[in-house]
Amino acid sequence: MTNNVSTLNVLLYGEPIATLTNVGNDRTLFAFMDSYINDESRPVLGLGFKDSLGDLLTNFKPTQTKLTPFFSNLLPEETMRHYLAERAGVNPAREFFLLWVLGQDLAGAITVEPADGEALPPNVHQEVKDETQLEAPMRFSLAGVQLKFSAVQHASGGLTIPATGKGGSWIVKLPSSRFEAVPENEYSMMELARMLGMDVPETQLLPINQIANIPAGIGKFGSYFNNAQAFAIKRFDRANDQAIHIEDFAQVFGIYPQDKYKKASMRNIAQVIGIEGQEEDIAEFTRRLVFNTLIGNADMHLKNWSMIYKDKRTASIAPAYDFVSTIPYIPDDNASLKVSRSKKFSDFTLDELSHLAAKAMLPEKLVLDTAKQTVAQFYEVWAKEKAHLPLTKSMIEAIEKHLRGIPLRSG
């Protein structure tokens, strides 16, 4: 290969299906392999690779500096991206090379490796003053902004972050340096969701000192105290040492991460779930939409909804994740995405859900009955459990004030 051309193989369930080729000047081409194109029983990479007739798309435009949205969404954002890129000595904006470094442990059943086993080109480190000071890169990527790592559970009940960063079956989220008790908040909201019958993975709230191998240098991205808590959630894209494929809705819609609050709505998500899933998927979507409205989660953007491929070909709604009541930190009457006509929490009514159901072609009775049931159950469970969850007094007060402004409520 010439010095300015590099190719990465994209593997799905360990089998090569496509290539990403950097042809120089940070210009990248994506192409499916003929073996994947010609395989009539091929596993699904993503819904966005299907045309209107359900056939595989095979022609893609080249991208500059960024990868195509599907692969760009596999990479971390903001603080986490800069931390991992700095460790590897890669410019965080050069997504082809960042994926090269992080592609051994991605969300879902995708891995990425150099086509010819080549090493990372030396000119990638040209902005690094002293290459001998580079730390061993952590070869994993979990999309999102928050500081989080893949971890392994050990016999004592604690968790260990592998030195390479890859191979864990848990995700550990460290506390925020900006907002109080975010791990406690997320743990509480996820447990409330579980009590309401939603599909929630196993979770833990544990002291930071029970997490081994927190990477050196992480302190400059946030201040942590020994008595602080971390939130851990079992990876639903891993089971019995096997990867299970997933994709988030920014990938489904071909939208870059910076546009995860734009260019789509809850109605758009619902329509895909209605087409691809079953009635239980529609009910689960409705439960989560109602629940996150009631708790005041203004951060349910496109990357916080995913589809999962349990049999490699059929899409259904993935288990729940990233449920946080954001209003104790940033009071807001706006959700991150429109429901159908409005994103205001104060406009969340049965009529708005009826409009969503009609436009997304969902069974209206199923949506409305599920919404009413979820509201009734929420108030019952909230009254019983709020004092037993690790929530601060101010969090409880903020949620209860918010609830008084939601039209879709009991009593």
Instruction: Show which residues are catalytic.
Output: 299
Structure tokens at 298: 């203004």
The CA distance from 338 to 394, in Å, is: 27
| Residue position matching structure tokens 């927190």 | 214
Distance set, CA 320 to CA 202, 317, 324, 375 (Å):
11, 9, 11, 18
> Residue 311: CB partners within 8 Å, gap ≥ 6?
none
d(CA 363, CA 175): 41
Strand-pair partners of 20: 8, 30
